[in-house]
Amino acid sequence: MEKTIKSVEEMEKEAVTALRRLIKDHNGKEALIVGLSGDLGVGKTVFVKAAAQELGITATVTSPTFVIEKIYKISKPPYSLLIHIDAYRLNSCEEMNHIGWNTIQKDPKNIIFIEWADRVEACMPTGAVWITIEHMSEDVRKIHHGSREK
C-alpha cells in the first residue's frame, strides 16, 4: 500500500489507521513488530507518537536516539508494552540482543516500533511489518506499508 501524506495531522491519522489494521491482523503468537525506515526528519517518531496515543499512552513519547530503547505501559488489552527502539546506532543482531531482542520479540503482549529498522534488517522476523516514509517535498511524504521477504 502506498499513500501520500501532506501534513503532520495526516501522518498522525495514518498511524492510527495503520495501527488499528495491524492489531486486527496480528496473529497473537509473537510481538507485533513494525519496522520504520526513512531519512532523518520524515516523520518516523511522529508516527510512533500517534500510535502510542491511540494505545492510551499518556507519557511524552520521544525518539530513543540516545538511549536506544524506551518502554511504555499499555492499558488496553491484549497488549501490555509498547517498545520503541531507535536502531540508528546499531549495526548488528548482536547489538539488538543487548537490549533483549530475542525475548521481547517473542512476547505477544508487546508492540514494537523500530526506527531505522533497515540498519538491523537481518534481525527482523519474517512477520514484521515494514513502513517506509519518503520525503517528497517540505510538507509532503509518501508512505509505503508492506512486508519484506527474507
- For residue 57, give the CATH number of its domain: 3.40.50.300
Q: What is the pLDDT of residue 28?
A: 87
Q: How far is CA 145 from CA 43, 60, 66, in A?
A: 14, 26, 27
DSSP assignment string, 87-98: -TT--SHHHHHT
According to the model, what pLDDT value does residue 113 have? 98
The pLDDT of residue 59? 94
Strand, helix or coil for residue 148: coil
pTM attached to this predicted model? 0.94
Which residue type, as a one-letter code, is found at position 33?
A: I
pLDDT along the chain (150 residues), means of 10: 93 96 92 96 95 95 92 91 96 92 96 96 93 93 80
Written as nine digits, the cell of 124 is: 527482523
Q: Residue 54: enclosing H or E segment and its boundaries?
A: helix 44-54
Residue 76: its pLDDT value, please?
A: 79
> What total number of domains does the chain contain?
1
> What does DSSP assign to residue 18?
H
Residue 149 confidence (pLDDT): 59
* Cβ pair 30, 24 in contact under 8 A: no
Numbers of helices and strands, H then E, in the chain: 4, 7
Q: Domain range holding 137?
A: 2-146
How many CA atoms are closer than 13 Å to the CA of 83, on its beta-carbon side?
26
Q: How far is CA 6 from the centre of its chain?
A: 20
